[in-house]
Amino acid sequence: MGVRIPPGTHFFRAATATRFVPLKTFWTALALVAAATIAFGWLAWKCVHDPKINFLPRDGRAEWIVFPAALDARTHPVATMDATFRRTLQLETQPGSARLLVRAAKRIELKINGETVQTASTRNWKQISKIDVSQFLWTGPNTIEARVFNDDAPPALWLTLTADSSTLRTDERWEVSLAGSTWRSGALASTAKRPAPGNLLAGGEKISDVLPHIWRAWTAFSVLAVLLTFAAGWWLARITARPNGGSAEFSRRQLFALLGLCSFAWVILFGNNAKMLPFSSGYDSKEHSAYIKYIQDHRVLPLPNEGFEMFQPPLYYGLSAGVLSTCRLAIADDAAVIALRAMTMIFGVANFIFVFLGVRLLFPGRIVAQLVGLLIAAFLPMQLYLSHYVTNETLAATLATATIYLGLRTLTSERASALQYLWLGVCAGLAMLAKATSLLLIPPLFGALMIKLFQDRAQFFVWLRAFGITIAAILITCGWHYLRIWHHFGTPIVGNWDPTLGFPWWQDPGFHVASDYFRFGTTFISPL
């Protein structure tokens, strides 16, 4: 029997409400599961069918094969990095019928016994071409040769040939030559790729290698963690004890103490890392620094094709250039690096504070849940890592978290004011001006607003005010940047992976297969 929800029930708790409303019901959970299933299903379908996504669709009749060594994308401007795949099929008699199924990432020239085989012309390289090739085959050895071209990923081939009772399919027994190099055995695209010598990730330390050198420090920190756990448990037991069973809340002094301790720990960590980390530490930090230097030198914003990271929205880089110019620092100065890292550290502190404020709205009176949320946000390893080098990630994360917090404040208000919608739109716009992926905030944000207004049975004017102010604030804050990119490149969003910008680059290995999403956990063994 289903759960009956009384008319007028609200799923957002008003800020002044004195009772809890049914936020988690069976039907709400079912709707969320259904929405997630639809979203992931659509994403999976898009990966399989969209030719713009370098995903190799699985088909049990054959395997995707590639050149066994990694390709360097930087060679594309000076050489054609095509791959030629070949295999010999031995036939005892002239086949009466021969059916070939083939597709390649992303363009193919196919020959059988030296004769060109015309494949179906299609814009979608993921579609399988079906060809009758009986006229190209004869008794004895038959050579199948496929030359594959790919501009933004390693060339890959999928092929199966059935000639009467004989079958040939792509696997490791095929030979492959890259740009006329020596013939080598092909590799399955589905095989896990390990960093080889020369790769930045190769030769990293394993936990088993490090433990003998740091076990004393680990032991000391473990003892300290146990003592802090007992102390925190005793403290929480005291402040949660209420004679009348009322809900507990942190006092203002306790809030400042908690946030102050976490911030102080961050400052200590920053001081330690500032002396130890080299200038270029951090993912793409040199390219981020080049973006800041460009703004300092030219006093204008660059276009995405003027630098490897210059496709990024400009908020972080403009702020950084302004801070350095105000302090009369150049990007090459040691003090400039310290200043930029201090900025990311401050953004990181602001991020976990906004997380804590949001958790307090979601779990009022539940100080244990609030404390757990604060500790996770403040000491998440990725959060700590990103907040100690030159990057736009922490500013984007902070603004996204602030947007979520302001959204929660708006949703839990009895009647949101125009000023709340204005700040919400401005903050969302700033997040999108820091990183384009912040666009993903918009669908859930607008969806939640629609649910609230629908449950409030709001009039048309209220809908118009809410969405009008929010959308206008977003467009005014960040719309100019995306219109500028659209004007120059014909699309509002481009990246350094986009051929339009002329950067020959892809993220290794250049493609994904279904098995990639079922392999994880290596980082716990070899984190460096």
54 pLDDT higher than 80 = yes
Tokens coding 123: 């814009």
Question: Which one, of 132, 76, 199, lies nearest residue 509 by Cα?
Answer: 199
The model's pTM? 0.74
245 pLDDT higher than 50 = no
Give every CB contact of residue 141 below 8 A, 6+ residues apart in sequence: 88, 89, 90
Determine the pLDDT at residue 204. Answer: 61
Determine if the peptide bond prior to 509 is cis (ω within 30°): yes
Give every CB contact of residue 285 below 8 A, 6+ residues apart in sequence: 279, 389, 390, 391
525 pLDDT higher than 70 = no
Rounded CA separation 270/345 (Å): 7
Determine the pLDDT at residue 328. Answer: 92
pLDDT band (50, 70, 90) for residue 13:
very low
pLDDT band (50, 70, 90) for residue 10:
very low
Phi, psi of 84 (to 5 degrees): -110, 125
145 pLDDT higher than 80 = yes
Homologous superfamily assigned to 65-188: Galactose-binding domain-like (2.60.120.260)
Output the average pLDDT for the chain.
Answer: 86
Concatenated DSSP letters of 2-71: PPPPPTT--SS--TT-SS----S-HHHHHHHHHHHHHHHHHHHHHHHH-TTS-B----TTS--EE-SS--
Q: What percent of the chain has pLDDT over 70?
A: 86
518 pLDDT higher than 70 = yes
Question: Which one, of 88, 67, 34, 6, lies nearest residue 511 by Cα?
Answer: 67
How far apart, in Å, do the first and last CA atoms of the chain sit?
A: 53
- Residues 366-397 have pLDDT tens digits of 888 898 899 899 999 888 888 888 999 999 99
How big is the chain by its Cα radius of gyration, in Å? Answer: 29
Q: What percent of the chain has pLDDT over 90?
A: 53
- Residues 310-319 have pLDDT tens digits of 999 999 999 9
Rounded CA separation 428/35 (Å): 23
Rounded CA separation 121/127 (Å): 10
pLDDT band (50, 70, 90) for residue 5:
very low
Determine the pLDDT at residue 499. Answer: 72
pLDDT band (50, 70, 90) for residue 195:
low
Task: Please list the residues that pair with 108 across neighbouring strands.
Answer: 148
330 pLDDT higher than 80 = yes
- Residues 129-140 have pLDDT tens digits of 999 999 999 999
Mean pLDDT across 37-62: 92
pLDDT band (50, 70, 90) for residue 77:
low
Determine the pLDDT at residue 72. Answer: 67
Determine the pLDDT at residue 407. Answer: 94
Question: Which one, of 491, 517, 523, lies nearest residue 55 by Cα?
Answer: 517
Give the CB-side neighbour count of residue 181, counting CA atoms within 13 A: 16
132 in Cβ contact with 162 (< 8 Å): no
pLDDT band (50, 70, 90) for residue 505:
low
What type of residue sits at position 524?
Answer: F
Question: Which one, of 11, 5, 7, 8, lies nearest residue 408 by Cα?
Answer: 11
Determine the pLDDT at residue 294. Answer: 96
Residue 454 sits at the vertex; the CA angle it makes with 451 and 455, to the nearest 5 degrees, is: 85
pLDDT band (50, 70, 90) for residue 21:
very low
Q: Find the range with the poorest average confidence among 146-150, 272-276, 286-290, 417-421.
A: 272-276
23 pLDDT higher than 60 = no
Distance of CA 493 to the CA centre of its chain: 15
Mean pLDDT across 96-116: 93
Determine the pLDDT at residue 9. Answer: 46
- Residues 157-169 have pLDDT tens digits of 999 999 988 999 9
30 pLDDT higher than 70 = yes
DSSP class of residue 193 equals P
pLDDT band (50, 70, 90) for residue 58:
very high
113 pLDDT higher than 80 = yes
Determine the pLDDT at residue 193. Answer: 74
Determine the pLDDT at residue 2. Answer: 45
Q: Find the range with the poorest average confidence among 4-18, 112-126, 360-374.
A: 4-18
